[in-house]
A and B are shown apart, each in its own frame.
Chain A
Amino acid sequence: MNKKGIISLYMSNWIIRAIFLAVMTVLVLFLVNYMSSAEVHAEHLRAEALAARILYSPNGLSYTDSNGRFHPKTVDLEKFTTTDVKFQESPLLKDLIDFGEKQFITAKLQLKNLETNNLICPLKSTACTDKSLYYNKELFDQWLLFSFDKNQFTKVDKQVYVLIWDKDKFVKGRLNIQVVTPVG
């Protein structure tokens, strides 16, 4: 092969190499971008955290006896029924779960007495049509309407076996926690 032939062979080889390198670079960049921009979904974690705060905090709905002993995963009926009549929201939960201006979680709680098989009305003095206790009721109603859109909102239902402290004794109960939260 003469000198011109060798040069043209080298040139053609380098063109192929350059194209191949470019393709590989694009592929690697695409993969890096794909792997590093994974979406983080914390909706279920938020729902878990909310439920945990309600049931495992002494300032939540759980019962603390006269000796100061805290009983996790119980519901003190006295606390459950201290509900604002107008909005059916618990002032206790508002103080417990305070995210300030950021409103990114709403919840509906229903407590069922498993011995009578009835839902418990969260209002102490008046009868209620909707036997539910809310956290951010206004937003809950709005977001629940759009919860069919899985790209916008996530609805998490959670059933928890609890013991209800009713005046002077525990009774079996089930707490349904329905959380609606924006995706992300």
Chain B
Amino acid sequence: MDKKAALGTAETVLHFISYFLLVAVILVTMLSFNNINRQNQLRITDVSSEVEKSAFMLNYLRTPITLNNQQTTISELVALAYENDDYKEQLINETNTIINSLYEGELLFKLQLSDQKVPKTITNYKIAKIQRIILSSSILEASAEVPKIYSPGSTLIQANITLYTKAAEPGTWCFTPWEERCSQDQAQMCACNRVGYRLLWECTPCPPSSNKCNYEEVMCK
């Protein structure tokens, strides 16, 4: 090949490379804009879910209860249970009633209380038993401050509540269609039908023929 032909070929190759580069730059730019758009949508959802969480916590803490034959609220029971283990059982029972009647299922909760010095955790489950399940299935996490009225020191107790789904019975709701979340007593369950806004799915057993969940195939109620 003479010198001119060699130059011509090199020029052609460079042209093609430049086209590819052009397309690549445009693609990267558009994908990054697309990503920003999605991030914005996620932000809107996050904001609304934060409000929901706070509102749940607010209503939870001001739920009326009877304590020592007197009408009061959960927040007072929280303050008492932080100081005195005798009230722990009642706090667990009252919280169970609230969360389970709300979601019509059997939920687990972890209530972490702290006055910035002494942390205390109250749960309605034994941690070691279901650690694997609960680690991946927190459905709500909210926090608030409760006035500390029964002991000296800091004036507030930081209360964090986390709700978890336990294994779901058929027909009850779970919160994502993950296999481990819908299994109980070794029986694999499937979740396929979104029954609530964003979070809730309905659990149904797997078809007998399948060993693994196929959410699309399962017929839901």
The interface of chain A, by Cβ under 8 A from chain B, is 1, 6, 9-10, 13, 16-17, 20-21, 24, 27-28, 31-32, 35, 38, 44-45, 47-48, 52, 55, 72-74, 114, 117, 156-159, 161-163, 169-172, 174
Contacts and interface: CB of A to CB of B under 8 A. Distances in A.
A87 B60 CA distance: 34
A72 B66 CA distance: 23
Nearest to A20: B19
A161 B196 contact: no
B22 A48 contact: no
A45 B102 contact: no
A60 to B, nearest CB: 13
Nearest to B5: A1
B56 A161 contact: yes
Interface in B38-66: 44, 48, 51, 55-56, 58-60, 62-64
Interface residues of B, number: 38
A9 B7 CA distance: 12
Interface of B: 2, 4-5, 8, 12, 15-16, 19, 22-23, 26-27, 30, 33-34, 37, 44, 48, 51, 55-56, 58-60, 62-64, 71, 97-98, 101-103, 195-198, 200
Contacts of B27: 31
Given A31-B27, A114-B102, A169-B64, A158 B58 contact: no
Contacts of B59: 73-74, 161-163
Nearest to B173: A159
A73 B54 CA distance: 11
Contact of A174 (B4, B5, B48, B102): B102
Contacts, number: 86
A174 B5 CA distance: 81
Nearest to A156: B197
Contacts of B195: 157
B26 A114 contact: no
B71 A13 contact: no
Contacts of B71: 169
Nearest to B51: A52
7 contacts: A6-B4, A17-B15, A28-B23, A31-B30, A45-B44, A114-B101, A157-B200
A44 B4 contact: no
